[in-house]
């Protein structure tokens, strides 16, 4: 009815209760469970959640509040969890009302930059349209900028991105990802990006013990186990593989386990004289690990990113 007195604003906010009810605690707990290590990265996510919770609380009390800029840079070597954390970040932003949808659109240069005049702008705008309301993750973002090629159209994509990042920062978060040294050079060459990226998060390489725990976690999810000898072989594998070219952290471990399963399957198929039980089908033996070329100093000629 006209003349109704508006309901008074609350005078207090229970941040802990908001943290619980928003689903953010559940999301961050899942991240702790699913991803091994990455303590500084997880801490930054918690800090981001705290910032958004406080801003939401200020709004509910009628205080002046400012929507923070959350465009980010994720730097680190391959296989350190950047894409997975970007997906979690999208979910966190959705739960706290920063974006509408909370989905992740992951792209590279080829998804944004055309090969001829007039091709780049519609490609870039179509990607941005799909990402609106969520997070746009641009992997190896430095490839957008190729100053040595005067016929390159990456600069056009960059200009469109910068405009959208500025004008739609309350409904789109852009995350640029790649190697730290190359990202530094990219930001030096593109000050517009540097001024719009408020959060720089470095993803450290995993330590040997963390990689072994990652391997155990992956195997558990697939209902496989390592024998005692295979566990020792995996420790040796990790120590050797880290010193070889194209090491990709958790990605390399996943690929190594895939090949161990391949060897196990061939071993079972070649040697089985009768029915096999679930234990035999689920056990990785030492020989399945030590057959890797890593132990002879070799690399898989077919896949640069990993050893066989």
Backbone angles phi and psi of 133, in degrees to 5:
90, 5
Structure tokens at 288: 């399945």
Q: What are the tens digits of pLDDT across the range 263-286?
A: 999 999 998 778 899 999 999 999
Domains assigned to the chain? 15-203 (3.40.50.300), 208-296 (1.10.8.60)
Q: What are the tens digits of pLDDT across the range 88-121?
A: 999 999 998 888 999 999 999 999 998 888 899 9
In sequence order, what are the residues at sequence separation of 6 or more whose Cβ sits closer than 8 angstroms to the Cβ of residue 57? Answer: 13, 15, 18
**What is the model's pLDDT at position 308?**
47
Residue 305 to residue 308: CA distance in whole angstroms: 10
**The residue to which tokens 């908001």 are assigned:** 18
Give percent above pLDDT 90 in the chain. Answer: 65
C-alpha pair distances (Å), 297 with each of 162, 238, 284, 294, 307? 46, 13, 22, 5, 9
**What is the model's pLDDT at position 140?**
95
**What is the model's pLDDT at position 6?**
65
**Which has the minimum average pLDDT: 195-209, 263-277, 281-295?**
263-277
pLDDT band (50, 70, 90) for residue 307: very low
pLDDT band (50, 70, 90) for residue 7: low
176, pLDDT greater than 60:
yes
List of long-range contacts for 217-223, beta carbons under 8 Å, 24+ apart = 217/36, 218/253, 218/254, 218/257, 219/257, 219/284, 222/261, 223/282
Q: Please tell me which residue, 301 or 198, carries the higher pLDDT value.
A: 198
Q: What share of the chain is helix, strand, coil (3-state, %, to 5)?
A: 55, 10, 35
pTM of the model: 0.86
- C-alpha 244, offset from chain centre: 23
**Mean pLDDT for all residues in the chain:** 89
**301 secondary structure, DSSP code:** T
**What is the model's pLDDT at position 61?**
85
Q: What are the tens digits of pLDDT across the range 246-258?
A: 999 999 999 999 9
């Amino acid at each position: 009815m006209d003349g109704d007195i508006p309901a008074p604003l609350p005078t207090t906010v229970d941040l802990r209760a908001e943290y619980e009810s928003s689903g953010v605690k559940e999301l961050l707990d899942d991240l702790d469970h699913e991803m091994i290590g990455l303590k500084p990265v997880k801490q930054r996510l918690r800090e981001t959640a705290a910032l958004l919770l406080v801003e939401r609380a200020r709004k509910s009390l009628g205080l002046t509040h400012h929507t923070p800029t959350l465009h980010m840079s994720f730097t680190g070597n391959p296989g350190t969890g950047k894409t997975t954390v970007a997906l979690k970040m999208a979910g966190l932003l959705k739960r706290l009302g920063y974006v509408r949808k909370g989905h992740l659109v992951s792209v590279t240069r080829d998804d944004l930059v055309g090969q001829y005049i007039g091709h780049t702008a519609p490609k870039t705008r179509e990607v941005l349209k799909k990402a609106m309301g969520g997070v746009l993750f641009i992997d190896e973002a430095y490839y957008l900028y190729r100053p040595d090629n005067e016929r390159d159209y990456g600069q056009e994509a960059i200009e469109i991105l910068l405009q959208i990042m500025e004008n739609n920062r309350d409904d789109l978060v852009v995350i640029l990802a790649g190697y730290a040294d190359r990202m530094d050079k990219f930001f030096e060459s593109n000050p517009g990006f540097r001024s719009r990226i408020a959060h720089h998060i470095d993803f450290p390489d995993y330590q040997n013990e963390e990689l072994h725990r990652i391997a155990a976690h992956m195997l558990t999810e697939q209902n496989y186990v390592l024998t005692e000898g295979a566990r020792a072989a995996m420790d040796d594998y990790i120590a050797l593989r880290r010193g070889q070219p194209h090491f990709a952290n958790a990605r390399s471990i996943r690929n190594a386990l895939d090949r161990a399963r391949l060897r196990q399957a061939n071993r079972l198929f070649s040697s089985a004289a009768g029915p096999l039980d679930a234990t035999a089908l689920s056990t990785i033996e030492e020989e399945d690990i030590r057959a890797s070329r890593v132990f002879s100093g070799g690399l898989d000629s077919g896949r640069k990113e990993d050893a066989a």
